[in-house]
Amino acid sequence: MRILHLADLHLDTLFAARSPELRDRLREAGREVLRRAVSLAIEREVDGVLMAGDLFDGRRLSYRTERFLLRELERLGEAGIPFLYCTGNHDPGQGIAGSGRIEWPDHVELFDRPQPRTVELRRDGEVVGTVTAAGHAVAHEADDLSTRFPSPSSWRDSQPAESGAPDAVGPEGQAGAGLPAVAMLHTQVTGAGGAADHDRYAPSELPNLRRAGYDYWALGHIHLREALERLPGIHYPGNPQGRSPRETGAKGALLVELPGAGVAPSVEFVELAPVRWERLEVDGLRAATTFDEFIGIVGDRWRELRAEDPGLPGTQWIVRLVPVGASPLAAELDHPESRRDLGDEIARTLDLLGVELRVEGIRSTVDPDQYRERRDPAGLALRLLAEAESREGTAALIERIGLDPAELAGFRDAPESDPSGYVRRLLGGGLGARILIEHFRREGESP
Ligand SMILES: [Mn+2]
């Protein structure tokens, strides 16, 4: 049996925080990834496409996306491939736009109840295996639904099988003892890699999944691709299209080949996402004294990365650029306008869909220690700023020199009850020191 395992497509995500252009592009990418998955399923002649929950992002489903989805499902249907879809926390039950209003074609198996149901997959009329699945009926499913899954032995053993011959009585009468059994569920497995980033809906335990008797668990919910176990196969495919700067790297689906009951499935990742998010950390910026030189270094680093992992032809990239270490441009990059201009220029130069510049990790090329030791007001100012970096330090500073935060801010009424927090925000974050040091540096350079 061969299946294509997808999850967490989140069709019609709003992307409210993005620009209108990016929003449209990302929604289009969600549809495109579905089209690619359907083409892949047809090309590789799978026996079923499994969508392990969160096909939709929420109640809102545009007419355009709905039509698109039904057209793509039709393509699958014409190829004789069933689409098995269990609901998740984003698209639970019957009331939601997707699973409730859509008239699903006959080759779609919707699992929207917490009670598992088993269906058979066929190839040329012959049963090749089973898929057992349960869905979320409510948005905040707190139960471990995996414990409700029946053991495949309940149908495998219902008739004595002759040396594993696939002729025992199955859920509908045919699935045999030697045939692979797949389980599908939208669940947060305790301890999975990306678990900290996701809400604990329908939590399950890995040891339980291991001994449930299935050959493969097609999981959904955690957006990070992860193999939790090889035998039985227990896999998160991750979402097939990244939705935020944290969802980086190649994204797609898993092609799973199941030779038979009790045999390790072979699992192949196939990249599908037309838009990829990446984080690019760049150091060694000390020599770049102009924006052009800065862009040159970033470009070299970007091309190195893409040589290792070029992505699919035509992939579009959204890059979170994180320069780190000493840079002569540190002070200039404190200005939001400079950051925006530089980001735009990098996007143009490297042909990227978007660049977000995060400059918290850079500092001035001047060593603050050499100034901090000076026995003059500049040195004193830097020492005070260093002290103001910590909560305790700021409190001690205020106390020692009898500092009135309201005075410091230039008005009478203290803006809040926590004066040390206020002073720390005024002086802290390294900004005050950076501005001072940059000032010294320029002073030193001018004739
Ligand atoms: Mn989910």
For residue 101, how far is its CA from the centre of ligand 1 (angstroms)?
20
Residue 376: the pLDDT is 78
Ligand 1 centroid to 220 CA: how many Å? Answer: 7
pLDDT digits (tens, 9 = 90+) for 366-401: 777 777 787 877 778 788 778 777 778 877 877 777
Instruction: Pick one of 3.60.21.10, 3.40.50.300, 3.40.50.720, 3.30.70.1450 as the CATH number of 2-273.
Output: 3.60.21.10
Q: Calculate how far, in angstroms, residue 222's C-alpha sits from the geometric centre of ligand 1.
A: 7
Give the end-to-end CA distance of the chain in Å, rounded to a whole number: 78
Cα 203 to averaged position of ligand 1 atoms, centre (Å): 11
In tens, the pLDDT along 54-89 reads 999 988 888 899 999 999 999 999 999 999 999 999
Distance CA 126, CA 135 (A): 27
pLDDT of 411 strictly over 70: no
Distance between Cα 243 and ligand 1 center (Å): 13
Distance 107 CA to ligand 1 centre (A): 24
Distance 296 CA to ligand 1 centre (A): 40
The pLDDT of residue 429: 57
pLDDT-above-70 percentage for the chain: 83
Distance 313 CA to ligand 1 centre (A): 29
Residues sharing a CB contact under 8 Å with residue 216, sequence separation 6 or more, in sequence order? 3, 180, 181, 182, 183, 232, 233, 234, 235, 256, 258, 265
pLDDT for the residue 97: 57
- pLDDT band per the 50, 70, 90 thresholds, residue 161: very low
Mean pLDDT of the chain, nearest integer? 87
pLDDT at 173: 52
In the reported structure, the alpha carbon of residue 373 is separated from the centroid of ligand 1 by a whole-number distance in angstroms of 54
* 56 Cα: distance to centroid of ligand 1 (angstroms): 10
User: What's the 4 CA to ligand 1 centre distance in angstroms?
Assistant: 19
Q: Please tell me the least confidently modeled range out of 173-187, 286-300, 301-315, 402-416.
A: 402-416
Tell me how far the alpha carbon of residue 90 lies from the centroid of ligand 1, in angstroms: 6
pLDDT at 427 over 70: no
Find the 266 Cα to ligand 1 centroid distance in Å.
Answer: 25
- Ligand 1 centroid – CA 144 distance (Å): 14
Q: How far is the CA of 280 from the centre of ligand 1 (A)?
A: 27
135 Cα–ligand 1 center, Å: 11
Q: pLDDT tens, 308-358?
A: 999 999 999 999 999 999 999 998 998 999 999 999 999 999 999 999 999
Q: What is the distance in A from the centroid of ligand 1 to the CA of 301?
A: 35
Q: Domain spans of the chain?
A: 2-273, 276-363, 368-445
What's the token pair of residue 198?
A: 């996701």
Q: What is the pLDDT of residue 446?
A: 43
